[in-house]
Amino acid sequence: MRVIITPTETEASTLAARHIIDHATPGMKLGVATGSTPLGLYANLRTAHETGAFSLADSTAWALDEYVGIDENHPERYRNVLRDQLVGDDKTGLTDDNLHTPNPYGDDLDAAAAEYEAALSEGVDIQILGLGSDGHIGFNEPAGSLASPTHVETLTHETREANSRFFDNDIDKVPTHCITQGLATIMRASDIVLLAFGRGKARAVAQLIEGPVSAMWPATILQHHPSVMIIVDEEAASELTMIDYYRSREHV
């Protein structure tokens, strides 16, 4: 697990984008996260596309999760968020057909989850991750299975409260359920880049890197993954015990 601490999220986003641009291969499968954390990274990818240094034109992108019960045209529907960030020649070259998101609109949500899981049986090439303040990745909430496939998840009160800022600050408008890639699905990615910013993520970051692997902090499963890069700002790094060691490792 590489741990990189940057002064602010601007440097972190640039570094993460650099990693993706450098490792992009034609036809790659890119795992994409939502939330506010990867927005700077996506802006960097759009800039690189503008200059001809990066393109997702032949690639596919795979969302981690999608809300259940959200209007198809709602701006916070994750498919719409990702369209806004990545789809089109004016963005990264990704086509709408090549953007994959779980389908929460059918009668059988379990079947939709199973279908998404099957499509990801070989895992993505590079997975971008954010981190919930309760340690969730995707929408895998605490006390779930560390080996879960794509599944229907009930959101915790903490997550709905955190995400209410996208829903007029009204928790009642935040969906209660979602379809999310499971931890086993995420673990099939060949390479993972996780970003976390701000004081509110510090406890989850400390658990993720230094805590015991536990279903109570779902992101800790990443300690078992052979290729993870964690990029955090100073505030998110503030509860790390071995912070000086991580800095020295990155200055070889």
Question: Residues near 36 by Cβ (< 8 Å), separated by ≥ 6?
Answer: none
* Pairing status of strand 177-180 against strand 191-196: unpaired
Decide if 134 is catalytic. yes
Stretch that binds ligand GLP, among 43-51, 106-114, 131-139, 210-218 (CB under 6 A): 131-139
CB 132 within 8 A of CB 174: no
Q: How far is the CB of 171 from ligand GLP (least distance, A)?
A: 13
In the range 102-121, which residues lie near ligand GLP by CB under 6 A? none
Q: Give the distance, in angstroms, between the CA of residue 63 and the centroid of all CA atoms in the same chain.
A: 8
DSSP line for 14-71? HHHHHHHHHH--TT-EEEE--SSTTHHHHHHHHHHHHTTS---TT-EEEESEEEES--
- 202 forms part of the interface with ligand GLP (CB under 6 A): no
Stretch that binds ligand GLP, among 11-19, 29-37, 222-230, 231-239 (CB under 6 A): 29-37
- 248 forms part of the interface with ligand GLP (CB under 6 A): no
Q: How far is the CB of 192 from ligand GLP (least distance, A)?
A: 13
# residues contacting ligand GLP (CB under 6 A): 14
Distance from C-alpha of 247 to C-alpha of 174, rounded to nearest angstrom: 39
In the range 153-172, which residues lie near ligand GLP by CB under 6 A? 159, 163
For 61, the 3-state DSSP assignment is strand
Decide if 65 is catalytic. yes
Q: Judged by CB, which is closer to ligand GLP: 93, or 175?
A: 175
Binding residues (CB under 6 A) for ligand GLP: these are 33-37, 64-65, 130-132, 138-139, 159, 163
Catalogue the active-site residues: 65, 134, 136, 141
